[in-house]
A and B are shown apart, each in its own frame.
Chain A
């Protein structure tokens, strides 16, 4: 059944990738979901268990380790929820599947810190709700209803997420989820062309009103202590733990299996949370931080006195030159990856486990690798802090603060995180299709200029794009612009361009360094 879903998904990878909001070679949703599901199916095929219950556990584990990109990680929560619901089942009927959709949806919402509507989450929830309304215990009927609801939900994603509405696209992750359900439905029904490329629905803008309640940031103000730990035990119930954590604090996150759960909660009474967890199993990798700045620094320093162990860092990077730059700042461990190739949770986890220290900093250097990095941090047996760098330029800025000796992991991570805002990231790359974004129109093969990942200018030449970017990304405070030239151009061309733009911006210092990144003519660090 999932093999069929995989085949249909594979056929639709190009369509899913087309739905990327940014026409840049960006963490492609289709590719990520496909690779995640492929790992799941491969593991399931190798599995010799005879029961749905055991096999779904194997699949959940495979998804957890193979999750790539944000959509892949969310898909892994889906499989975990499914495994929970199918626990003890030998076969999966319509009612079982309906239950597993509901559990998967709850799991996916619960697994992510600040769920956003208009994404795959909404599509999962609405398809689960529809499945529940099917009274007959008939798998085909449940799949039919849920897939139909999923497609409907996908069409409405732009009404929930303004960025989709502006781009006139539907959510790619949500659409991928629909394709998976549709593949399963066709398998059960025993018909349908599984190699068919299906066009994603046109965005249904409904009455054009964006629901205000969905736009409310779910993130509440942080307070008290950020409390994180691992809980090992038997038959742990995530639902009841979540319910208790909601009483004890805010923003609880509960991820894992019934033997091993990662808990994260903001609370005024961390001792009470830990004591409660202690009644359920063994608590380890405890990490409690006072979110009040001053006291947090104090406790970080205090820990530094107690803990002499020195942290090392793992960075995700694509391009030899960029890797050299990070190496020169003392970072030694790397995972290859970036916009076009998001590493899996397992790739990140392996690098963390291989790092020569028990405390590890993880720099994803990409917004689409952030969730996978957090997932890897949660799964690791080590103490891991993710420094949420959204670009490699931010990662390099953070690396300037990388003086690990005699520093606590938390103190080091905090001071590196403080550096992320020190730089403006510029990117110069060709557009893969026509688009209009942030009020800027771009045609296919034009050169785009992005400031902190937002399109600010498009031009017909790299030189004009650079100038347009600098006009929009520098101010009186800007002093130095470092340009990292990438694969699309060579050094002499890069030198010529820098010479030309430095005439137009005499008040700025320009530094040209080999980056070696694919697809992007230049990455710029403006500070």
Chain B
């Protein structure tokens, strides 16, 4: 008997890593025109970005339905003491809301704790990993929830965008709105702050923007864990991972993952992201 961890596909958590840690991922839905795909299930990341850049339709995403959550909780609850369900910031998505309703409707014999991580992408992923490790080592519901809360407090997620075009089209721009309308081409670095997208920095060239992103990671170090996200430029992500891995005190190698469709729709091609957990004091 144990606590089980559930998250949604906006966490960008790789399937194999999730499986190893016993994390269940509920996929978001992605639409290109009239065609519906399950995030991370029906379509690979590269296929998605190829269609995003070259395809005729701009994709839209929708959160998993209440029914999808309730079905997931029902099946996960078999053999579980409790479920901790960790989701993308409620300030940018209705996923948390769907999950809460799903928990109410689910036919489960154990408590379901639905938590708003106020994060996105591997920010959620790293929090889920912490929670899953606590659960695997036999933590109680309260202990796992406490570990997740603590991780939420130490979590940062930021991304260097090649263009603001996609964030703007997707309508999830938050305070980064201030960056739009600039007559100069800038490479913005955005950060998830209190659950919404905020500005971290602007640079005129990509080289300087990567340096700035690296410096931002350094500002939050020492780190307990680190993930690098990319949309289309894997090499750059690997280089960044190599440059900053020494900041992780455990010596654990950074996880390099591709942005999934949910996030990819907003960050667009050539985005480079970082999620991290600062070391506890």
Contacts and interface: CB of A to CB of B under 8 A. Distances in A.
B91 interface: no
A374 to B, nearest CB: 27
Given A330-B178, A479-B207, A480-B204, A511 B186 contact: no
A440 interface: no
Determine chain A's interface SS by DSSP, over half rule: mixed
B185 interface: yes
B183 A324 contact: yes
A401 B212 CA distance: 12
Interface residues of A, number: 18
A325 interface: yes
Nearest to B182: A328
Nearest to B199: A403
B202 A325 contact: no
A325 B183 contact: yes
Interface string A487-525: 000000000000000000000000101000000000001
B208 A511 contact: no
Contact of A422 (B182, B185, B186, B208): B208
Interface in A184-202: none
A511 B185 contact: yes
A527 to B, nearest CB: 5
Interface string A467-488: 0000000000001101000000
Contacts of B181: 328
Given A330-B178, A422-B208, A400 B203 contact: yes
A400 B183 contact: no
Contact of A480 (B201, B202, B205): B205
Chain B interface bracket (under 10, 10 to 19, 20 to 34, 35 or more): 10 to 19
B184 interface: yes
A418 to B, nearest CB: 11
Interface string B62-77: 0000000000000000
A505 to B, nearest CB: 15
Nearest to A423: B204
A329 interface: yes
Contacts of B183: 324-325, 328, 513
Interface in A359-401: 396-397, 400-401
A325 B208 contact: no
A524 to B, nearest CB: 13
Contact of B201 (A325, A401, A482): A401
A400 B179 CA distance: 10
Given A330-B178, A403-B199, A513 B184 contact: yes
Interface in B193-241: 199, 201-208
B184 A527 contact: no
Contacts of A479: 204-207
A396 B183 CA distance: 12
A324 B183 CA distance: 8
A527 B185 CA distance: 13
B184 A511 contact: yes
Given A324-B183, A325-B184, A511-B184, A400 B204 contact: yes
A508 to B, nearest CB: 11
A272 to B, nearest CB: 34
A134 B185 CA distance: 65
The interface centre, meaning the residue of A324, A329, A482 with most chain B CB atoms within 10 A of its CB, is: A329
A91 to B, nearest CB: 60
Nearest to A511: B185
Which 9 residue pairs across A and B have the least CB separation, nearest first? A479-B205, A328-B182, A400-B202, A527-B204, A480-B205, A328-B183, A325-B183, A480-B204, A403-B199
18 contacts: A325-B184, A328-B183, A396-B184, A400-B186, A400-B203, A401-B201, A403-B199, A403-B201, A422-B208, A479-B205, A479-B207, A480-B204, A482-B184, A482-B204, A511-B184, A513-B184, A527-B204, A527-B208
Given A328-B181, A479-B204, A513-B184, 10 more contacts: A325-B184, A329-B202, A397-B204, A400-B186, A400-B203, A403-B201, A479-B205, A479-B206, A479-B207, A527-B208
